[in-house]
Homo-oligomer: A and B are copies of this chain.
Amino acid sequence: MSKANYYLQTPRKHEVTSFDRELVLGFLKEMVRIREFESRAEEQTLAGNVVGGIHLAIGHEAVAVGVMQALRREDYVTGPHRGHHLVLAKGSDMKNVMAELLGKATGISGGRGGSMHMADAETGLLGVNGIVGASIVIATGAAFSAKYLGQDRVAVAFFGDGGSNKGQFHESLNMASILDLPAIYVCENNEFAVETAVSYSTGVDNIAERGSSYRMPGIIVDGLDVLDVYVAAKEARQRAVQDSRPTLIEAKTYRFKGHSIGDKEDYRTKEEVQERMKSDPIFKLKHRLEEAGWLSEQQWNELKSEVDREVETAVQFALNSPLPSAATALHHVYAKEMF
């Protein structure tokens, strides 16, 4: 058993021009896709079209895009309740994602799951999850599977700062360490679990430091900087497939919106949020691309309108899709209907 030692790594700044231009423009577009999707999802919620509560990932785009772009399509991903960005970044068709929020038969989970229960067998998305902590154990099993089958595949679990205090975090990271699993644990630390500040709930300065309990590198990345996330995820993927060793990544980000739609947010001030939004990950990347001369206003406008078209198409698709058929309510409980 190889026992890579724990070390703590802090955020790194990468020159945007040290990457391939198309790649980085792709990052930008993916992030804008998520942002626009989320805005329209909010609008659809306020219009009363969404079934159930949703948790917007505005502010988390760079984490999803940075990690997913470092993965291959065949890699597995699990996520928590806040997961639209993960589903989209892993490659699901936006139309089916929006349709799921509206509880439609064409939804990615056929309307059975809604926002918190989206999965896509096509993209390796083993599901986002309504239970905090569940994503962590499930990805651990997928990593076990990849190794067992000798596949060049990794499994990535996303979870929040709140999730890092669940027993499942501890049991899974220990398991991955002792079994040398190709797993990547990505904590999206947005500083809050509903109203509860991470500084209150979590007895450690950086969640990444918890890697030390499992002989696992603890990598802190700037979760508002897609390039930092991307490079760290690439390295983690490499460690997973080459050394078959897991990594804990803590992406420091911030939740720009309420916990869910309707949140009164009386646990933080408007000013705090305004201040933090100055580090908007999309704005920041756009600015760096412009400075590098890699993005003209026209290109930006084209990108925006392409995304707008895609999102609008998705919204229309979702609105016009049929509801699930009541007759299917007892399907898929078991392989064959039993009750």
The contact string, 1 if C-beta is below 8 Å from chain B, for chain A 151-184, is 0000000000000011111110110011000000
Q: Verify if A267 is at the interface (C-beta below 8 Å from B).
A: no
Q: Verify if A299 is at the interface (C-beta below 8 Å from B).
A: no
Question: Do residues B203 and A173 form an inter-chain contact, with CB atoms below 8 A?
Answer: yes
Contacts of A200 in B (CB 8 A): 178
Q: Verify if A17 is at the interface (C-beta below 8 Å from B).
A: no
Interface segment among A38-46, A90-98, A205-213, A304-312: the answer is A205-213
The contact string, 1 if C-beta is below 8 Å from chain B, for chain A 204-237, is 1100011011111000000000000000000000
Q: Verify if A202 is at the interface (C-beta below 8 Å from B).
A: yes
Given contacts A165-B171, A174-B165, contact A203 B212 (CB under 8 A): no
Q: Verify if A313 is at the interface (C-beta below 8 Å from B).
A: no
Question: Do residues B214 and A204 form an inter-chain contact, with CB atoms below 8 A?
Answer: yes
| Bound Cα distance from A167 to B214, whole angstroms | 14
Question: Do residues A204 and B215 form an inter-chain contact, with CB atoms below 8 A?
Answer: yes
Q: CB < 8 Å: which of B203, B205, B213 contacts A203? A: B213
Closest Cβ neighbor of A203 among chain B residues:
B177
Contacts of A202 in B (CB 8 A): 174, 178
Contacts of A165 in B (CB 8 A): 170-171, 174
Taking the closest CB of chain B, its distance from the CB of A177, in whole angstroms, is 3
Taking the closest CB of chain B, its distance from the CB of A7, in whole angstroms, is 13
Contacts of A204 in B (CB 8 A): 212-215
| Bound Cα distance from A141 to B305, whole angstroms | 57
Taking the closest CB of chain B, its distance from the CB of A266, in whole angstroms, is 21
Given contacts A203-B216, A213-B209, contact A166 B171 (CB under 8 A): yes
Contacts of A215 in B (CB 8 A): 203-205
- Chain B CB within 10 Å, residue with most, of A202, A203, A215: A203
Closest Cβ neighbor of A201 among chain B residues:
B178
Taking the closest CB of chain B, its distance from the CB of A245, in whole angstroms, is 11
Question: Do residues A212 and B212 form an inter-chain contact, with CB atoms below 8 A?
Answer: yes
Given contacts A213-B204, A214-B204, contact A167 B171 (CB under 8 A): yes
Taking the closest CB of chain B, its distance from the CB of A182, in whole angstroms, is 15
Q: CB < 8 Å: which of B169, B178, B201, B209 contacts A170? A: B169
Q: CB < 8 Å: which of B166, B169, B203, B216 contacts A214? A: B203
Taking the closest CB of chain B, its distance from the CB of A293, in whole angstroms, is 45
A-B CB proximity, top 8 nearest = A167-B167, A177-B203, A170-B170, A203-B214, A210-B213, A174-B203, A178-B203, A213-B213
**16 cross-chain CB contacts under 8 A:** A165-B174, A166-B167, A170-B170, A170-B171, A173-B203, A174-B203, A177-B203, A178-B202, A203-B214, A204-B212, A204-B215, A205-B215, A209-B213, A212-B212, A212-B213, A213-B213
Chain A residues packing against B (C-beta within 8 Å): 165-171, 173-174, 177-178, 200-205, 209-210, 212-216
